[in-house]
Amino acid sequence: MHLARIEAAGSNGGRTSRQSKRSGIRFQARAIAAFALTAATLSMVTGCGNTYRPVVSAINPVGPAGQPQRYAVAISDPGNGLPGLVTIVDFSGDTVLITANIGVAPYYFIMNAGGNTGYTLNGDGTMTSFDVSNQLQTRDVIQTTLLTGAKPNSIFADATSTYITEPGRSAVAQLKGSPPALNQELPIPAGYNPVYIAGYSGAARQYVISQNAAGGNGQVAAIETSSNTISNTIPVGNTPVYGVMTSDGKRAFIMNQADGTVSVINSQANQLDAVPSPAVNPIPVGTSPIWADLAPTRNELVVANAGNGTAKGSVSIINIPLCSAAALPGNPNCDPTNPIDANGFGQVLATVPVGVNPQMVAVLQDGSRAYVVNKADSTVSVVNLTTNTVTATIPVPATVHPNFIAVINGTPTGKVYVTSPESTSMTVIRTDTDVVETTIPLQGKGVQVRAQLP
């Protein structure tokens, strides 16, 4: 409408003539021309309701950038034999975008490295997979029936395959395609039960962590992702439960719960790492290490030690730099294409007391802080990774006895998400203030929550 009036004003002098007659003033030719130009300009800014509106040029806004669209994805179990639920939450708005049904009694959840596909293990003997999207519907969820007696307990999603540990069959199932279908089973040596896969999507090999069925030291089996064969078996510590791999695929770290150590694997050499003195391998940490997360900008590994369940647990902060151009003076034999451990690798920088019975730790990817969820006292401890001290202890009473945590970086604030198997609410904590921002209903008891990185 405004463009039509502008064009009309530029080609029609009728409105100017009427205004001239009402004024009763006659001008010479040059004055009339000037007045016509003024009238035409006024008509250009006359609104559709004959209301004057000045012409405004858009100016790009300044200030903090808008939050990108990212999601926290929570799995919950309503019980009573009902299907489990996946709830997708908007990071910036803390609103539930979509809820869809998955398998009955879900108990394990993972997302692939890109954060665009989710996988759950369910008590009805199935695996469900789904796109992480605000358009997700129940009809879009894919269900795969797993092998009888597998007793699956973890999933790892690589670029081309999905691996499921099967302690009931002493094997690892490799699935391919969409919907995921069994391609083969990789056997685990008799007497060992697979519990977890430490890996990183796109790495040359992933490591299957297995516990000794008779107690004692466990082992890891290396899966070559190019051939999907097991190439080596490596001994680790007593009762290994969890592991992480660096994003460059060069080192893997295995948490040995029963002997309070972390085993380091040089995944380039596919064997235990020869850490530089005075560090040793495995690395002694606190009592009952059960989880860890990487602080890549700091070259540190942050380990959650559960303790004895009644006294305060701790986190151990381990230095894990590899040699680089900056570290070459201290590492004259360093090969940049196959880096060795830098000086100080494997040294425990600090052991920081946290809450009672910590279950899990999650590190902000800017390396500033780690968040530790403490089950027994229903709190989250905030650990400053520069000072290696606890700077806040956040009660989460709405998420009683929490056991799972996920974080997302953000500007001006990131978010921390906390779930509990005893609560139908998920707690959301702001990272700029380290206070609870809100709680989000899940329609079932919280199982696990994951977040799209970073």
pLDDT confidence of 53, banded at 50, 70, 90? very low
Task: State both tokens at 380.
Answer: 């989250």
pLDDT confidence of 139, banded at 50, 70, 90? very high
Cα–Cα distances in Å, from 11 out to 6, 7, 257, 268, 286? 9, 7, 85, 77, 84
Region 193-202: mean pLDDT is: 97
pLDDT tens, residue by residue, 404-447: 999 999 888 999 999 999 999 999 999 999 999 999 999 999 99
pLDDT confidence of 338, banded at 50, 70, 90? confident
Asked if residue 364 is part of any domain, the answer here is no
Q: In what order do the strands lie in the sheet with 217-224?
A: 192-198, 205-212, 217-224, 229-238
Task: Yes or no: say if 369 and 431 are a contact pair by the CB < 8 Å rule.
Answer: yes
- pLDDT above 90: percentage of residues in the chain: 77
Q: Looking at the predicted structure, is the pLDDT value of residue 384 above 80? A: yes
Predicted pLDDT at 327: 58
Task: Yes or no: say if 94 and 430 are a contact pair by the CB < 8 Å rule.
Answer: no
pTM of the full structure: 0.84
Q: Looking at the predicted structure, is the pLDDT value of residue 31 above 90? A: no
Asked if residue 81 is part of any domain, the answer here is no
Domain with 32, as residue range(s), is 2-44
Asked if residue 6 is part of any domain, the answer here is yes
Asked if residue 36 is part of any domain, the answer here is yes
Predicted pLDDT at 179: 87
Predicted pLDDT at 69: 79
Predicted pLDDT at 246: 96
pLDDT tens, residue by residue, 102-115: 999 999 999 999 99
Q: Looking at the predicted structure, is the pLDDT value of residue 165 above 50? A: yes
Asked if residue 38 is part of any domain, the answer here is yes
Asked if residue 39 is part of any domain, the answer here is yes
Instruction: Report how many domains make up the chain.
Output: 1
Q: Looking at the predicted structure, is the pLDDT value of residue 62 above 50? A: no
Region 2-9: mean pLDDT is: 37
Asked if residue 11 is part of any domain, the answer here is yes
Task: Yes or no: say if 262 and 300 are a contact pair by the CB < 8 Å rule.
Answer: no
Cα–Cα distances in Å, from 433 out to 391, 393, 404, 412, 413? 11, 12, 21, 11, 8
Asked if residue 33 is part of any domain, the answer here is yes
Q: Looking at the predicted structure, is the pLDDT value of residue 41 above 50? A: no
Give me the chain's average pLDDT, please.
Answer: 87
